Amino acid sequence: MQYPPTHLVVMGVAGSGKSTLAAALSRQLGWACAEADEFHPEANIVKMTQGIPLQDGDRWPWLGEIRNWMTGQAQAGCSTVLTCSALKKSYRRLLSEAEGRVLFLHLDGGADLISQRMQGREGHFMPPTLLPSQLATLEPLSQEERDAGSLRLDISRPPEELVAAVVEALKLPAGQPPCEP
Residue 178 has pLDDT above 70, yes or no: no
What pLDDT is stored for residue 79 in this prediction? 92
Q: Could you report the per-residue pLDDT of 123-161, keeping only the tens digit for each?
A: 555 555 666 778 888 999 999 999 999 999 999 999 999
What pLDDT is stored for residue 102 in this prediction? 97
Whichever domain contains 98, its CATH number is 3.40.50.300
- Cβ atoms 15, 114 nearer than 8 A: yes
Residue 177 falls within a domain, yes or no? no
Q: What is the domain extent for residue 109?
A: 6-170
> In whole angstroms, what is the distance from residue 40 CA to residue 180 CA?
20
What stretches of the chain show up as alpha helix (H) in DSSP?
A: 18-29, 42-49, 56-75, 89-95, 111-120, 131-137, 143-147, 159-170
Residue 179 falls within a domain, yes or no? no
Residue 180 falls within a domain, yes or no? no
For the chain, what is the mean pLDDT?
86
What pLDDT is stored for residue 45 in this prediction? 87
Q: Could you report the per-residue pLDDT of 8-62, keeping only the tens digit for each?
A: 999 998 878 899 999 999 999 989 999 998 999 999 989 888 878 788 999 999 9
Query: What is the pLDDT averaged over residues 167-177?
Result: 75
What pLDDT is stored for residue 1 in this prediction? 41
What pLDDT is stored for residue 128 in this prediction? 58
What is the number of domains present in the chain? 1
H or E element in which residue 106 lies? strand 101-108
Residue 33 falls within a domain, yes or no? yes
Residue 115 has pLDDT above 70, yes or no: no
Residue 175 falls within a domain, yes or no? no
Q: Could you report the per-residue pLDDT of 57-73, keeping only the tens digit for each?
A: 999 999 999 999 999 99
Residue 176 falls within a domain, yes or no? no
What pLDDT is stored for residue 121 in this prediction? 53
Confidence grade of residue 179 (pLDDT, cut at 50, 70, 90): low
Buried b (16+ CB within 10 A) or exposed e, 45-75: eebbeeeeebeeebbeebbeebbebbbebbe
